[in-house]
Amino acid sequence: MKPKISDVAKRAGVSPTTVSRVLNNRGYISEETKTRVHQAMKDINYFPNDVARSLFNKRTNVIGLIFPTVANPFFGELTFYIENICTKLGYKVLLCNSLNRVDEEEKYVEMLMRNQVDGIIVGTHNRGIINYHKEHLAVVAIDRNLSETIPVVSSDNYEGGKLATELLLKKGCHHIVHLNGPAELETPAKFRRKAYEDVMRQSGKEPITYEIPATFDRRSQQGIIEQLFDEQVNVDGIFASDDVIAASVLREAKRRGRDVPSDLKVVGYDGTEVTQTLLPELTTIKQPVEQIAQQSVELLLQAIEGKFGELPLETKLPVQLLEGSTT
């Protein structure tokens, strides 16, 4: 059996109350008792049971993370930073990969509620579920508009879309196509699309957007990309919704004998460390991943402390154009 507080108490010859006080450094305790208790804890290799503590305190110091998949470099890196920051601040991270499937997300949210997490950071697209439980839940969204009252942290998507599109124009592209997630998702990524469309129209060009399903399913992504090449035979510039998609575009281009960048120019989005290492040639818009993590956690902790009204509903962080050799 694992030792408990009463075992420590017995061995130190004090009451459980006193052991608890030593543990929490609360109230006055004589140095001598303190030492005896500490020694007893060591002797029997005692560790406090945080489950019991949480039950009493109504505070678990656990936060839930719901992302499509940490297998994607952007979410992997984001999760890494968030977890690190949380650990430093005494919070633990319960991880959920929903692949953007609505039914999964529903189950995850319920699971997190049952486990009494103090808050949730969400990077998936589902609006309804969170709202439903809102009263009891501190929530921050990353790059998703979940509701009118949930703070959103994101990169400056409009600026990113603008930088990407302007670069392609500057480099002489005439027939530029954009790949983006489904329009109905209402994510701030729609501002990437908006920027693309604005810039295109300003220079008298017709914007064309192909929509990639949100399910992170390679096959359907590949399908859309092939469709794009099939239908847009004159395409000479592609602004992809993320770097992995951009990589698939490069691959398909190669397969079709299109030379990059002379024949076709490609810009991605995200610019994670891994992408930068594996595919440094890719021109991309770099999101400030660590800053996004930092801001999200900070806002969430404030929400947990009950400072709802004072939280900024929108936090836009600066992007950076990284020019490689695909443009």
Partner DNA sequence: CTGAAAGCGCTTACAG
Q: Residue 220 interacts with DNA (CB under 7 A)?
A: no
Q: Residue 238: which H helix or E strand, with range?
A: strand 237-239
Number of helices (H), then strands (E), in the chain: 13, 12
Q: How far is the CB of 119 from DNA (least distance, A)?
A: 18
Tell me the chain's radius of gyration from C-alpha atoms. Answer: 25
What is the footprint of a second copy within residues 244-303 (CB under 8 A)? Answer: 244, 247-248, 251, 272-275, 277-280
Q: Which is nearer to DNA, 23 or 279 (CB)?
A: 23
Q: Residue 74: which H helix or E strand, with range?
A: helix 73-88
Contact of residue 170 among a second copy, DNA, none (CB under 5-8 Å per partner type): none
Rounded CA separation 320/327 (Å): 15
Question: SS3 for 47?
Answer: coil
Stretch that binds DNA, among 3-11, 143-151, 169-177, 228-236 (CB under 7 A): 3-11
Q: Residue 313 interacts with a second copy (CB under 8 A)?
A: no
Among 8, 19, 37, 79, interactor with a second copy by CB under 8 A: 79
Q: Which is nearer to a second copy, 278 or 313 (CB)?
A: 278
Among 113, 311, 317, 322, interactor with a second copy by CB under 8 A: 113
Q: 3-state secondary structure string, 263-319?
A: CCEEEEEECCHHHHHHCCCCEEEECCHHHHHHHHHHHHHHHHCCCCCCCCCEEEECC
Among 10, 48, 171, 279, interactor with DNA by CB under 7 A: 48
Q: How far is the CB of 300 from DNA (least distance, A)?
A: 22
What is the footprint of a second copy within residues 217-246 (CB under 8 A)? Answer: 218, 243-244
Q: Residue 182 interacts with a second copy (CB under 8 A)?
A: no
Q: Residue 38 interacts with DNA (CB under 7 A)?
A: no
Six-digit token pair at 179? 């790949």
Q: How many angstroms separate the most distant Cα atoms in the chain? A: 85
Cβ–Cβ < 8 Å for 178, 239: yes
Stretch that binds DNA, among 19-27, 164-172, 186-194, 302-310 (CB under 7 A): 19-27
